Amino acid sequence: MPSRALDEATPIPESRIAHFDHEADVVIAGLGCAGACAAIEAAAAGTDTLIVEQAAGGGGTSANSGGLLYLGGGTPLQKALGFEDDPESMFAYLMAACGPGADEALVGPYCEHSVEHFHWLAGLGLPFKEAFFPDSHEPPGDESLTHSGSEEAWPFCEIARPAPRGHCASVVGPKGPLLMQTLLAAVERARARVQVGVRARALVLGEDGSAIGLVARHRGEDIAIRARRGVVLTAGGFIHNAEMLARYAPALTRCRYKVGTAGDDGSGIRMAAAAGAATLRMDAGDITLPLFPPVSLKEAVLVNRFGQRFVNEDAYMGRTGELALLRQEGQVYAIVDEPGFVRPENAPTEVAATGDTWGELESELGFAPGSLAATMELYNHHARGGSDPVFHKQPRHVRPLERPPFGALDLRAETTWYAAFTLGGLWIDAEGSVQTPTGEPIPGLFAAGRTTSGVAKQGYSSGLSLGDGSFFGRRAGRAAARTRG
Amino acid sequence: MPSRALDEATPIPESRIAHFDHEADVVIAGLGCAGACAAIEAAAAGTDTLIVEQAAGGGGTSANSGGLLYLGGGTPLQKALGFEDDPESMFAYLMAACGPGADEALVGPYCEHSVEHFHWLAGLGLPFKEAFFPDSHEPPGDESLTHSGSEEAWPFCEIARPAPRGHCASVVGPKGPLLMQTLLAAVERARARVQVGVRARALVLGEDGSAIGLVARHRGEDIAIRARRGVVLTAGGFIHNAEMLARYAPALTRCRYKVGTAGDDGSGIRMAAAAGAATLRMDAGDITLPLFPPVSLKEAVLVNRFGQRFVNEDAYMGRTGELALLRQEGQVYAIVDEPGFVRPENAPTEVAATGDTWGELESELGFAPGSLAATMELYNHHARGGSDPVFHKQPRHVRPLERPPFGALDLRAETTWYAAFTLGGLWIDAEGSVQTPTGEPIPGLFAAGRTTSGVAKQGYSSGLSLGDGSFFGRRAGRAAARTRG
């Protein structure tokens, strides 16, 4: 994936624009999930809406994704499948799981209006099937509901009543394409205009500092686009801008699989920050270990380079990945015994060491004598009684590892493929208004999706990017349509 | 300490300033160590220099500090005391210890010119005594050299040849006051003008976006100050702005001792970011445990809430603190045996639990059965042989803990006094130029000290704030003096 340099994003004063090449009420930069939802709502509000997209067509990273949307609070699908949920439980979970520093101002409305958001998505034609997938990741089949975070795992299960909140379109395989086909069809029905091959690169600011348009690259030339009402930045994150990643989120540079498209080059963040917008938590990212689906990991024992456990292995894969990379230097292994070797899910993982005793295994791994043995003896001691009082893995995943040969699956960042995308970005309020460092909205400027720091300030659960991108994308589109109206 | 709200920092266009109340070639906001050094150099370059300081006098947090300056590469003091050092070793240590993401563009010149910087400070009259303090913290006596980081601790001792680099003025007790007295006297000799009780709050921008002055509060009124050449922001960090701290560095809110003065309210960062400056690593901070001097900790065993060790206890106190808060949720204890109870340094610490066996201790702490026992048995097993092959504590600090009663000293963030200040701030280049998100300098705008993200991007060693504040403060002052010259 190519990485763009930090191209020029300094805002351009209105006085320097000789003429505007295009004009619309609401101008949106980027046509992924957030941009499509912004466009649908802005157009529904009766405004002339123009979306510019740098790629040859709409879809972006959303179309390449698994397609989960984190929704809850008692959606029709949750109810039909017998799961109790309410906005308070959803809020309690997200405030605990999306921190430190999860923003009540975003998480609150996101939970309170999640059922309405479900109905809106269903109303666009997104097909949901009343079928539940019990493993906690994207359903490989056509089920539409699954656990997509650490809801059932310690400590979150003690903080909020667990409920599955990963909702997705009913289709076999990845659900991102159908999600975006549905949203793009709605964009078209709404008569929002789309111009592809146009890359927004800088804001145009009025004399009072408000955003009144964009300058964009089109066929190698700058063009100017006036926004009579508002500008919405939904241009993705910056996982594919190597320079920004090294500068702002150096830990993520170690993840070899960078989840996104070439459009995730940070352009939306740069152009707003250069105009005085505040950025938040630019170091943050979603990080997952190179084991997918991660089912088998739950029965293994994850250890760091000191031979210690560091997480309950049944936590959401984004949590194990985050803790592995950010807290254990990405130096981790999954310890298995004989049955663990034959699980097909583990097949792509290299075996870093094997041994008939813990001593042999720790020696082959270069661990200190007795270190891994002490960990495994403690784990097995409690596992024989069916519990994990140290890290609180749920009893159904606890099994003593005592059938040699033992093995250590290599899950180190430098030798395997950690997957990551960025979570840091612009500070928005609940209406999608982009904020200055003093917490004032920049007039006329809105944003959503991974161009912003959203619901997940650091901790992640699957479906939160499409979830908050679509939710705050809608709000940004509506707010932009109201501006200067 | 009072905390200021996010007061208005939006930049003001030159066209809106009816008249400037004051004027100088170089205008500096904040008279701590960085501002003083900027002023001395700007004035030495022949410019009319004006410093505005919000407090009733100069000094700031620097005057309240321990007064260590991180210098090296073979200073006269290092040589006289028999310590070998060179810029390459200093660079290797800092690049490893100040990350992730330490910036070669800053660390490089900081190391290369450190000896020159020592001579400059000595030339201002800062008294250095050829005496070495062997424990690694601020000398309580009048010694001028000490270890002030993790140079001798694993893994850094394997990365770079260790050398003591904590330099300080020779005076009994804290050295910050003498450092600032010396610098303020030099400011006066240089005939830089100082106005106290004046708080810079926003930049004035010329039509081309360059910084041409400041608006500041003085006796409840806004005044405008023109900078004919450049503006230098040396206004401290933001540890005393509760709203910014919660927004940008939520983990630090848990540190009950916030190291700084009321001036550390983020005003310098806010006014530049509102004008389109990039901020870096705003979540970062220096964090220390509530044990000072931390000597006794080296013989103890630090454990997390799972009863596991997580660091070599002889690491620099800012490293143990950072790992405790950011990686162990601030849920840590120091395990001691009978001799550990009587060390006077431990006196201020509460005893969370005692017991005659590890089982008793872990039970009283609410740890899982066998967890602390497994840790201590492994530690003692190796300690009897004089080594720590798991976490690599230096042998001279390794002693088995086997004389009951055993105790757990409470080092939890919520019940004790972690100390912290912020490390995040403006992105500067090696000349102190403030950068936009695209890596371009904002003309006329410079910064240094904790208003910037400096040498320590996250990992800290004592003396780096006065060190990089004075070093890049000088460069910012010289660069401002050259601007539009």
Cβ of A100 within 8 Å of Cβ of B250? The answer is: yes
Task: Name the one residue in this structure whose structure tokens are 């979540």.
Answer: B283
Residue A86 has pLDDT above 60, yes or no: yes
Query: Is the pLDDT confidence value at A3 over 50?
Result: no
Average pLDDT, chain A: 94
- The boundaries of every CATH 3.50.50.60 domain in chain A are 12-65+177-286+419-482
Tokens of B170: 């020779």
Closest CA to B382 of A414, A72, A239, A368: A368
Q: What is the pLDDT of residue A5?
A: 41
Q: What is the maximum span of chain B, computed from C-alpha positions, in angstroms?
A: 77
The Cα–Cα gap between B349 and B83 comes to 35
pLDDT attached to residue A344:
57
User: What residues form DSSP beta bridges with A446?
Assistant: A232, A433
Q: What is the pLDDT of residue A285?
A: 98
Q: Which segment of A6-15, A221-230, A370-379, B84-93 scores lowest on mean pLDDT? A: A6-15
The answer, for A155 touching chain B at a CB cutoff of 8 Å, is no
Q: Which residues of A are less than 8 Å from B100 in CB distance?
A: 250-251
Domain B12-65+177-286+419-482 belongs in CATH node 3.50.50.60: yes
DSSP B446: E
**Which residue(s) pair with A441 in the sheet?**
A435
Q: Is the pLDDT assigned to residue A464 strictly greater than 60?
A: yes
Q: What is the pLDDT of residues A35-75, one digit of tens each?
A: 999 999 999 999 999 999 999 999 999 999 999 999 999 99
Instruction: Calculate what percentage of chain A has a pLDDT beyond 90.
Output: 91
Of the candidates A148, A152, A125, the residue with the CA atom closest to the CA atom of residue A137: A148
Contact list, B11 vs chain A (CB under 8 Å):
276
Residue pair B50/B225 in contact by the 8 Å Cβ criterion? yes
CB contact under 8 A, B437 and A273: yes
Listed in sequence order, the DSSP H helices in B190-286 are 242-248, 267-273
**B377 to A374: CB separation less than 8 angstroms, yes or no:** yes
Spatial separation of the C-alpha atoms in residues B474 and A461, rounded to whole Å: 47
Instruction: For residue B377, list chain A residues with Cβ-Cβ distance below 8 A.
Output: 374
Q: Is residue A25 left, alpha or beta, with left meaning phi > 0 and alpha meaning psi from -120 to 50? A: alpha
- CB nearest A279 (choices: B279, B374, B377): B279
Mutate to test the interface with A, among B247, B367, B380 (most CBs of A within 10 A): B247
Residue with the two structure tokens 């046509």: A31
CB contacts under 8 A, A 345-374 vs B, are 368-371, 374
Going by C-alpha positions, the residue among A372, A361, A346 that lies closest to residue A404 is A361
Q: What is the mean pLDDT of each run of 10 residues along chain B (485 residues)?
A: 54 94 98 98 98 96 96 98 98 97 98 98 98 88 96 96 97 95 98 97 94 96 97 98 97 96 96 97 95 74 97 94 96 92 65 96 97 98 98 96 95 94 98 96 97 97 98 98 86
Q: Which of A282, A382, A423 to mutate to test the interface with B (most CBs of B within 10 A)?
A: A282
**Min Cα separation B453/chain A (Å):** 11
- Of A395, A385, A278, A375, the C-alpha closest to A334 is A375
Q: What is the mean pLDDT of residues A310-329?
A: 95
How much is the pLDDT for B137? 77
Other CB atoms within 10 Å distance of the CB of residue B15: 11
Looking at the complex, report in whole angstroms how far the Cα of residue B53 sits from the nearest Cα belonging to chain A: 21
Answer whether B268 touches A (CB < 8 Å): no
Contacts of A438 in chain B (CB under 8 A): 6-10, 270, 274
| Residues forming CATH 3.90.700.10 domain(s) in chain B | 290-410
Calpha distance A307→A335 (Å, rounded): 10
The alpha carbon of residue A217 and the mean position of all alpha carbons in its chain are separated, in whole angstroms, by 28
Distance to chain A for B248, nearest Cα, Å: 6
Lookup result for tokens 């610490």: B349
- Residue B58 confidence (pLDDT): 96
In 3-state terms, what secondary structure has residue A441? strand
- Reference A374, options B303, B374, B367, B387; nearest CA is B374
Which secondary-structure segment (H or E) carries B288? strand B285-288
Among the CATH numbers 3.40.50.2000, 2.40.50.140, 3.90.700.10, 3.40.1440.60, which is that of A290-410? 3.90.700.10
User: Which residues does chain B have within 8 Å of residue A269's beta carbon, measured at their own beta carbons?
Assistant: 437
Nearest-angstrom CA–CA distance, B377 and B401: 9
Within the 376-435 window of chain A, which residues sit less than 8 Å (CB to CB) from chain B? 377-378, 381-382, 389-391, 427
* Chain A residues with CB-CB distance to B282 below 8 A: 280-282
**E strand intervals along B320-360:** 332-336, 351-355
Give the one of B10, B275, B283 whose C-beta lies nearest to A283's C-beta.
B283
**pLDDT confidence of residue A293:** 59
* Antiparallel, parallel or unpaired: β A22-29 and A221-233: parallel
Long-range contacts of A353-358 (CB under 8 A, 24+ apart): A353/A407, A353/A408, A354/A405, A354/A406, A354/A407, A354/A408, A355/A404, A355/A405, A355/A406, A355/A407, A356/A404, A356/A405, A356/A406, A357/A404, A357/A406, A358/A406
